[in-house]
Amino acid sequence: MIRPGIWRRELSVPLQSLQSELNRLFEDYWHPGSPASAASAPTDLATAVWTPAIDLSESPQEIVLVVDLPGVDPTAIDLSLTENVLTLRGEKGTIELAPESHGRVRERAVGGFHRQITLTEAVDFDRVSAETKNGVLTVRLPKLEAAKPRTIPIQPVVS
């Protein structure tokens, strides 16, 4: 038996991808040649089979993303950051049952996943870190330090 919440989440994935693709197309139409439109690539609409749950939190120093990825091999996760968009892709394989057993209920999602998270602040790319423990991926994205005001001393000119 599949729980209703899973259906709702799985049905929203193609709609979110379609929304992102339409936004990209409108951006290209209204602002052709802009750096944002030149760097954006078409969204892959057919890759997501399931959507991992995320928590996104923000402090003055960093943005932290926590993703539930039970049963996903950390080497099968592709994490990338382009401008202000964090992309998470991967594959969750099935666990093979013994040949004489027959599955009666299958609720665990398997297959590919794809999430894109738009960040609201500029991130220090060189200090981004990611780690996984017990099927939970934690990504720490330190914010760029704002330009701090400083006093510039004025030297008198001696003539």
Residue 11 token pair? 């049905």
Q: What's the pLDDT score for residue 97?
A: 67
Q: What's the pLDDT score for residue 92?
A: 85
Q: What's the pLDDT score for residue 53?
A: 92
Q: What's the pLDDT score for residue 137?
A: 96
Each residue's pLDDT tens digit, 102-134:
667 777 778 889 999 999 888 998 999 999 999
What three-state secondary structure class fits 29? helix
% of the chain at pLDDT higher than 70:
73
Each residue's pLDDT tens digit, 24-55:
788 777 877 665 555 555 555 444 578 899 99
In this structure, of 86-90, 97-101, 106-110, 134-138, the range with the lowest mean pLDDT score is 97-101
Q: Is the pLDDT of residue 78 over 70?
A: yes
Could you please report the per-residue DSSP string of 46-61?
T--S----EEEEE-SS
Comparing 121 with 2, the larger pLDDT belongs to: 121
Q: pTM for the full model? A: 0.60
What three-state secondary structure class fits 27? helix
Cβ 125 vs Cβ 91: under 8 Å:
no
Cβ 2 vs Cβ 11: under 8 Å:
no
